[in-house]
Structure formats: C-alpha cells, structure tokens
Amino acid sequence: MSHLNISSNKAELDVPAIHHFLSTQSTWAIGIPLATVQRAIDHSLCFGGTLDGRQVAFARVVSDYATFAYLVDVYVLEEYRSRGYSRRLMEAVVAHPDLQGLRRFMLATSTAHGLYTDYGFTPPLRPEALMERYVPDIYQR
C-alpha cells in the first residue's frame, strides 16, 4: 500500500480536483460551483490526501477553533477506497492541534457511521436540541 500524505497546507490542494469530485460524484454537493468550493476552502481548515502527487482524499472542517467544529466534504476517490485512507484522513483531522478541547465536533453522514464512531462521533445525545436550515437542491437552482 502506498503512503497517503496528508497535509493541511491549502497551497497543496488540487482545488479543480476537489470541485470535480464534489460537483459530479458526491451525494451532497452535486452541481456546486467552483467559486463556492473555493470560498469554502478559503474559510475552512482543509486536509488533502495525496498519493504520488495526485489528490485522492479530502476533508474540510469549519470551526471557531475554540468551542465548535463541523466536519464536511470528506471523501476518498472510489478507486482508492478500502485501503485505510479514510482512517488516515480521520486520524489527521482529530489529531490536529487547532481542533483540540472543542466542546462540540459535529458531522452529517448517510454512509460512514462505523468510520466516524471509531473517532468518538455518536448520534446527538439531545437531538431535540438541534435544528437546521437545509436546502438540499441549492446547487441545482
């Protein structure tokens, strides 16, 4: 297995590749404009996973770096799955020094509950306390 290099240096991100995956292959951001992806990256802590110079994994965290964080846009390209790369990516995320001591670290997922459970994520203890404004088709308008 090749070694997945994970970096939080935004200069090393392949933004067109991230946009391509999110806008055409993700289940949550189909049709997202490149400018929106760039703005989201600009205002987030990002983790890019590369193999031999090719970006094959990505995760983004939106946080105040003091009390709260939200993990989003996590993916490993399909042809690189089942090699432990999602675990390596999550290890880097939860170990990042700016994300320690947070009161709440959230995410939303429909497919990878087992992965995230291994890193301390659970269903909300008080789901009745959580609310959202959700517009699932915003990029198709």
Q: What are the pLDDT digits (tens) for 109-135?
A: 988 999 999 999 999 999 999 999 999
Residue ranges, the chain, pLDDT below 50: none
Angle subtended at Cα 11 by Cα 10 and Cα 12, rounded to the nearest 5 degrees:
90
* 115: its two tokens: 């992965």
| φ, ψ (nearest 5 deg) of residue 110 | -115, -5
pTM of the model: 0.94
What pLDDT does residue 100 have? 98
Residues comprising the chain, all counted: 141
What pLDDT does residue 1 have? 56
CA distance 17 to 21: 6
